C-alpha cells in the first residue's frame, strides 16, 4: 500500500497516478505511443524522481496496489483535481474496489478542519499495518513538510516501525 499526503498544488505530483488508478479501475488499457500495451509505460514522464517513478509504473498498479490519498485545500473552489479524486473514491466504494481511498480536508468549509500536526500524523498511521506500507509521499507547503519530517523523526506509535527509505518528502 502507498500513502500520499498532499496540500494545495502538492496534489499535482499525484494526478497522473490517480489517473492511472482510474484507468486501471475502469479497465481502460494504456498504450504506448507505438500502440503496444503499456505494461512498462512510465506514467510521470520526465520527472526526475527515481523512487516515485519506480513505484508508479503501470505494472505496479496490477494486483493489490492501493493508494490512501490525503488532500488538503482551503475550499472546494481553490482545489485541484478534487473532482477526479472524489469520482475515483466514489467509484471504488460503489464497486467494492480497494485500490483507492480519499481523505479530504477543506479548512475554510469546515470539512475535517483538524490541523495536520504531529499528533494527527501519528494518529493516521495507527490504522495501517506497518509491514503493508511500501511508500509514504508528502508534498505540500514547507511548513507541512517540516511537520511531517518532525513526526517521522520522532517515530512515535506505528511511525517507529517504518524505515526512512519508506518516506519521500517531495
List the domains of the chain with CATH numbers: 7-169 (3.40.50)
**pLDDT at 26 (0 to 100):** 83
Q: Rounded to an integer, what distance in angstroms lies between the CA atom of residue 31 and that of residue 29?
A: 6
**pLDDT at 63 (0 to 100):** 64
CA distances from 95 to 43, 52, 65, 67 (A): 25, 28, 16, 16
**pLDDT at 36 (0 to 100):** 53
Q: Rounded to an integer, what distance in angstroms lies between the CA atom of residue 99 and that of residue 23?
A: 12
Q: Name the stretches of the chain with pLDDT < 50.
A: 33, 38-60
pTM of the full predicted structure? 0.81
Q: Rounded to an integer, what distance in angstroms lies between the CA atom of residue 8 and that of residue 28?
A: 29
**pLDDT at 165 (0 to 100):** 86
**pLDDT at 65 (0 to 100):** 85
Amino acid at each position: 500500500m502507498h500513502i500520499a499526503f498532499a496540500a494545495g498544488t502538492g496534489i499535482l505530483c499525484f494526478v497522473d497516478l490517480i489517473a492511472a488508478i482510474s484507468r486501471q479501475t475502469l479497465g481502460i488499457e494504456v498504450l504506448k505511443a507505438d500502440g503496444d500495451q503499456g505494461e512498462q509505460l512510465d506514467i510521470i514522464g520526465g520527472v526526475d524522481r527515481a523512487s516515485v517513478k519506480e513505484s508508479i509504473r503501470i505494472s505496479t498498479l496490477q494486483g493489490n496496489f492501493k493508494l490512501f490519498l490525503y488532500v488538503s485545500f482551503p475550499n472546494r473552489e481553490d482545489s485541484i483535481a478534487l473532482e477526479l479524486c472524489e469520482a475515483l473514491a466514489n467509484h471504488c466504494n460503489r464497486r467494492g474496489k480497494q485500490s483507492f481511498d480519499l481523505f479530504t480536508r477543506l479548512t475554510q468549509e469546515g470539512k475535517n478542519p483538524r490541523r495536520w500536526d504531529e499528533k494527527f500524523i501519528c494518529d493516521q498511521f495507527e490504522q495501517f499495518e506497518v509491514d503493508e506500507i511500501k511508500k509514504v509521499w508528502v508534498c505540500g507547503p514547507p511548513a507541512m513538510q517540516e511537520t511531517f519530517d518532525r513526526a517521522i523523526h520522532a517515530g512515535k506509535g506505528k511511525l517507529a516501525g517504518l524505515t526512512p527509505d519508506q518516506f519521500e518528502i517531495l
